[in-house]
Amino acid sequence: MVEDDVNLVGTLEKIVYSNPENGFLIGTFLTENSARPITVKGIVFNTRERETLRLKGYWENHKVYGRQFSIREFMPVEPTSVEGMVRYLSSEVFKGIGEKTAQHIVNKFGKDTFKIIDSSPELLSKVKGVRKKQQKSLLAAWDEQRGLRDVMTFLRGVGISHSYAQRIFAKNGLNSIPLIKANPYQLTDIPGIGFLTADGIARNLGFNKNSPHRAAAGLLYMLEQQALNGHTWFPHQTLLEKTAQELDIQEEMLKSTIRQLLDDSLLHSEKIQNINAEEEKLISRPRFYKAEQRVAENIYRILNSEAYTIFEGESSLIDEQERKVGLQLDPAQRDAVEAALQHKVLIITGGPGTGKTTIVRFMLGLMRPRIPSIGLAAPTGRAAKRITETTGSAAFTIHRLLEASNIGFQRDRENPLEQELLILDETSMIDTLLMDSFLEAVPSASRLILVGDVDQLPSVGAGAVLLDLIESGTIPVVRLDHIFRQAADSFITVNAHKVRVGNVPDFSALSQKVDAEKELLDFYFIKESNPEKIVEKILLMSTERIPQRFELDPMMDIQVLTPMHRGVTGSIHLNRKLQEKMNPDAKGLQHREQWFRIGDKVMQQQNDYEKQVFNGDLGRIVSCDPKTKELHVKFEQGIVHYQAKELDQLSLAYAITVHKSQGSEYSAVIIPLTTHHYMMLQRNLLYTAITRGKQLVVLIGTEAAISKAVENEGTMRRFTGLQHQLSELGLTPLF
């Protein structure tokens, strides 16, 4: 039973446990009205033993430790009793002031002690036993504590939550108040505080909705929102209109603000040919403009330099390798291998079953005796593992190849990679910023082969690198369209390619085969329009039907892929239901609205170079400590420790979005698809989802939703500038 909003005032008598990194503390606390101390726990920073605090939180009963108080908020306060004053002044807050000296001060001034220190600190010199050095130290600490209280009080008064107030004070200290009063939109530099939060604070401070500070922050915010939608650039006029409409700012103010942001180099503007082949003024944040510029420059640099190794007699080399491995390439595959031997940079694209992996394996066998150093990489750990398994050659994540750390990549232009040949798989997943970092580290003399499926969803991050490089026509491209016999026997492969070219899968053929042969297939469609019943069927399929009939592990072999986060069939709700079904009783801890339990399947949500875990990595929780809110997760690369402040990096992964599944394959996938997903019903989303399944794909939904997705080829085209940058360098199309 939890009681909310309980307030306690008292002294932190003893710190039993503290974590200086995240501020978590367990201690004993003596209230003003109690004779015996109580146990308290929670996030409390910049505090010491014997300090007087006001706590806000709730009581809870722990199975082992009994009744204790869980802290939600805290505030340093001045004690009011003579005894409390002595304890406070002799605490660690005031270094150099022992209990004897504190007693002298309080004996001299009584209950007016703190008023004297505040208003007439010079009177401390009249206290017996207080030296000048002690007086100076006490006053400095007093000012700091008063400043902390003032800052915290101010921040809470303008609507800043306690946790964010801690972050703001940690960064700006006693300067927090004047900085925020001058421009509250500076708070957007604090992790977790976005424009909308800062905007609310500004309103509380009386800022005008058309203030220059708001206009500047609003424009940058709108561009960041477009970057989340994949755009590296955005049309100038559309940006003005959207910002004016959504944030209620006058267009004239926005126009003048854009000019100022351009002058301050916080924005970049160019006229770029849009998707309709019309010249249009586009706006970009400098990091995207510079990244695309460097990608183009590096492509130009690599294309126009001599290779370490020159191949002659390509045809005979290929013939020799075919005899060696007992394989005859089809014409398109042979074209791809020949192009790899002839060109510095090559793109190979094709769908499932078209032989991309076969080509990579063949090229590795042909080139390894002739090139001493070859690098094989992919954007994610799962994709790297898959290419390692299918080619028999060790592959790495791009981050590992670049020797990533929390201070950046160790490999760059000044410290380049050493490989003479670099092959990147799943290139469609690589966004502009990552491709920029990768190409910066590629030696000029190296060969580069980019492999991927351009028809899949584009990268989660901003940009459309693979598509832009292909459409620029500046790099040789080999497209594989032929589906090989073994793959053609798979309904997964056949239906994926039907979707890719705009055809709806033939579900009647599936049912006929089931009826005729009574055999297990690799592709099923279950009709259901009611979202609640779809959830029930997902639970049944995940935990009973598929594990029993296909002998698959429900936790690690089966993955639910959904188009959206929200809604009844969104990943958030599905994760809650699947966790209740598959792992209901394990020991766990609560973080925000989510429970993490031992045994749960979880996904890393951002790159952490220090821990060597990256966005999209899947793992299982192997231990947790509800007391400290810490846990350990086992990933393929090892066990990783998470502190309380790092739990935002994790989410449950029984169900994930299709976007998050890119570069991964699963033994079985279950895909809910209904008209409730209207905004996300796109051909490349359905195609990507289907191609994630190796042994089994189960679609649950309506034929109308599937038809809508297949018909919707007009996926929102991203506004990017890479093709423009390539043309600016004089790279003309090859074809």
> DSSP state, 327?
-
Instruction: Tell me the CA distances in angstroms from 284 to 270, 293, 351, 428, one per residue in order.
Output: 8, 12, 32, 22
Task: Name residues whose C-beta falls within 8 Å of residue 548's C-beta, 6 or more positions apart in sequence.
Answer: none
DSSP string, 182-197: H-GGGGGGSTT--HHH
d(CA 562, CA 571): 6
Q: Which tens digit of pLDDT belongs to each residue from 589-603?
A: 888 778 899 999 999
Q: Which tens digit of pLDDT belongs to each residue from 539-589?
A: 999 999 999 889 999 988 999 999 888 889 889 999 999 999 999 888 888
Q: Say what percent of the chain tops pLDDT 70.
A: 93
d(CA 415, CA 418): 9
Tell me which residue of 278, 183, 267 sits closest to 223, measured CA to CA: 267
Average confidence score pLDDT of the chain: 85
Mean pLDDT of 611-625: 86
Q: Is 216 exposed, middle or buried (0-12, 13-18, 19+ CB in 10 A)?
A: buried
Q: Which tens digit of pLDDT belongs to each residue from 446-473?
A: 999 999 998 888 888 899 999 999 998 8
Does pTM surpass 0.85?
no
Does an H or E element contain 131, and which?
none
Strands 638-642, 630-635: parallel, antiparallel or unpaired by DSSP?
antiparallel
Q: Which tens digit of pLDDT belongs to each residue from 653-689?
A: 999 999 888 778 889 999 998 877 666 778 888 988 9
pLDDT at 17 over 90: no
Task: Name residues whose C-beta falls within 8 Å of residue 156's C-beta, 6 or more positions apart in sequence.
Answer: 162, 165
Pick 113 or 65 by higher pLDDT.
Answer: 113
List the structure tokens of 365.
Answer: 């066998």
d(CA 387, CA 377): 8
Q: How far is CA 80 from the centre of its chain?
A: 48
Mean pLDDT of 268-295: 86
Q: Which tens digit of pLDDT belongs to each residue from 86-138?
A: 877 887 777 778 888 888 888 888 888 888 888 888 888 888 878 888 888 88
| Dihedral angle of Cα 141, 145, 146, 151, to the nearest 10 degrees | 140
Does an H or E element contain 1, and which?
none
Can you give the pLDDT at residue 43?
76
Q: What is the arrangement of strands in the sheet containing 630-635, beginning at the earlier edge strand?
A: 638-642, 630-635, 618-625, 601-604, 650-652
- Decide if 180 contacts 201 (C-beta within 8 A): yes
